[in-house]
Every structure is written in structure tokens, then in C-alpha cells.
Copies of this chain bind each other. A is one copy, B any other.
């Protein structure tokens, strides 16, 4: 049996954390031969609630669950952490501007970045789920100068999975038939779910569905799916968000399927596809041996370029709002 790895979940007392913890402990994220210690981090007023979650984890008798640590202390929460799922973030309240939310949440991720820099394993892999996820990942990376920036990512896998299903339904195919779909850019309503290189059972998607359908139906459906879920459930996505986080981390750790890629929001430092080099931008990536590589060489036409620019500009604006949090501590 391998040695246990340390997996940190922030905002663990929330609904995504509740859906996530059991699936990680069951082996679905890192494989059925990888023991885990769960480090569940919460704000002080929610640590008590974590007690019930810890009891239920005990009650599952998971053979892979080595230990559960409950804490409101960042230095404990990120101690030797190998995998961090940063879920916790403040929700937007009614009379709050989006820019205030971004700045407010940004300070949480700056503090977490500093704690990661000081306490985590040097090869920590970070997935940010809490919104605005891309910009929060950028902030965390900027505040962890001793950790490779590549290791800070944000989640667009839920969008990717949503896009996969929507085009499968439209084309009358099984989801498993859909390959090479991409979500580009920001995990927000400016994201670009892209069928340009998508294959459905080997056939180019645009031979099976129309470009008009993609523009008028598919793209807005995927972009606004989060809101539709809230309307249908009376609560935001929890289990499907947790599932996407599992998918993101499993692929990163254990590899992607051959002949396919997935969408991950990653630091754009390498400048692929002409994107500003200081953002966290979602790209098509393949994962192997615990690392990811951007899929390069895809043809980009004017239509795609325009979509890239829209979501890139939004990310630049978000970055401007949190500029103070991106400066290395003096």
C-alpha cells in the first residue's frame, strides 16, 4: 500500500464539501490504491459542523481513509498538503457589486496562497472552485512564490462536462462518444464552450449539429447552466461540482484518456494561443505522469479569436480589481 497523501478541502462544511469528501475517501479521485488523509478547513464558526461530517466519514469504514483533520487554522489545514481543493468562498449578497465580491474573496485566496507557500508539500496540486475561480487561482499563485505557478489551477471541468452532455443529447449520441470538446477562458458567462475540434463517434461535431444551434442554444445553455440549476433545485450545483472536481484532480494525477483532452484553467504564462501571459485561462490539456500539457497547434479562426478576446478581457478586468493582492509581499 502507498503512503497516505494529504488532501485539503476548504469550505468543507458546505454542500460541495459534503458531496466531495466521501468520493475522495472512497478512492475515486486518486485511485483505489492511494490512502488519503483529509484535512478539512473551515472558518471558525463552521468547524463545529465539520464534526458531523467527520463522524459520517468514520461510519463509512473507508479502507483508504487514513485520517481526518478538522481545523480553522490555515497552517494546519495546508500542512504537507499534496492536493488542495479550494471550495470555500463568500457568496455574492443581494446589494453587492461583482467587483466587491472579487476583492473580498481575493483576500481569502491570498491568505491561502501564503499558507500553501509556507506549509504545503512543494509539489502540491491546487484546484480552485470558489468563485471567481480563475482569478482566485491567480491570486493564490501570486502569494506562493516558492511553488511552481503551474500547480495552481481553476475548475472549468463542470462546464466541460456540461458541454459534452449537451452536444451528445443534440446529436443523439452517448456522452462517451464525444471527444475533444474545449471550454476556453473564464469560468463565467464569458466562457467559450467550443465544438470546433470536437468529434462525435469520430465525426466532426459540426457535421452533426449546426453552427447556429451552437451559437443560439449550446453556448448560452452551457454558459448559464449554473443559474438554471439554481432555479430547478433551489440550491446551487453541489454533487455535479464535486464530481467535476474529482474528474479534474483524477485526470491531473492519473492521466487523461488517450485520443481525448479535458479543459483546465491554468496559468497562461506560456502564452499559448496568444492569450495574455498573466491570467488563469482555461485550455484544452492532456495529462500524463502527474502533469498537464496544453494541446497546441489547433487552428483558430476569426470566430474563435473573437470569443477568446471576450473572455480574456473579462479576466484582465478581474485581475485589475485584485491588483493589490497580486504584488509579492514586501
Which A positions have Cβ atoms within 8 angstroms of B? 18-19, 21-23, 26, 28, 49, 51-53, 55-63, 65-66, 158, 161-162, 164-165, 168-169, 174-176, 178, 225, 228-229, 232-235, 237-240, 242-244
Contact yes or no, B164 A61, CB < 8 A: yes
A interface majority secondary structure: helix
Which B residues are in CB contact (< 8 Å) with A21?
239
- 7 further contact pairs, Cβ within 8 A, besides A52-B234, A59-B165: A22-B242, A49-B233, A56-B229, A58-B162, A60-B244, A61-B178, A62-B175
Contact yes or no, A56 B22, CB < 8 A: no
Number of copies of this protein chain within its complex: 2
Cross-interface CB contact of A232 among B26, B51, B237, B244, cutoff 8 Å: B51
Contact yes or no, B228 A161, CB < 8 A: no
Across the interface, name the chain B residue whose C-beta is closest to A226: B59
Contact yes or no, A240 B161, CB < 8 A: no
Which B residues are in CB contact (< 8 Å) with A23?
22-23, 26
Contact yes or no, A22 B239, CB < 8 A: yes
Contact yes or no, B165 A61, CB < 8 A: yes
Alpha-carbon gap, A56 to B234, bound state (A)? 13
Contact yes or no, B28 A60, CB < 8 A: no
Give chain B nearest CB distance to A189 CB in angstroms.
16
Give chain B nearest CB distance to A210 CB in angstroms.
21
Give chain B nearest CB distance to A10 CB in angstroms.
19
Contact yes or no, A63 B175, CB < 8 A: yes
Contact yes or no, A55 B229, CB < 8 A: yes
Which B residues are in CB contact (< 8 Å) with A161?
59-61
Cross-interface CB contact of A63 among B49, B52, B56, B174, cutoff 8 Å: B174
**Could you give 23 example pairs across A and B, Cβ below 8 Å?**
A19-B19, A19-B22, A21-B239, A22-B23, A22-B239, A22-B240, A23-B26, A49-B233, A52-B232, A55-B232, A56-B237, A58-B169, A59-B162, A59-B165, A59-B229, A60-B161, A60-B239, A61-B162, A61-B164, A61-B165, A61-B178, A62-B175, A65-B175
Give chain B nearest CB distance to A252 CB in angstroms.
17
Which 4 A/B pairs are nearest by Cβ-Cβ distance? A52-B233, A52-B232, A56-B240, A63-B176
Give chain B nearest CB distance to A235 CB in angstroms.
8
Alpha-carbon gap, A243 to B19, bound state (A)? 12
Alpha-carbon gap, A58 to B237, bound state (A)? 12
Give chain B nearest CB distance to A25 CB in angstroms.
9
Which B residues are in CB contact (< 8 Å) with A22?
19, 23, 239-240, 242-243
Which B residues are in CB contact (< 8 Å) with A243?
22, 26, 59-60
Give chain B nearest CB distance to A52 CB in angstroms.
3
Contact yes or no, B52 A239, CB < 8 A: no
Give chain B nearest CB distance to A56 CB in angstroms.
4
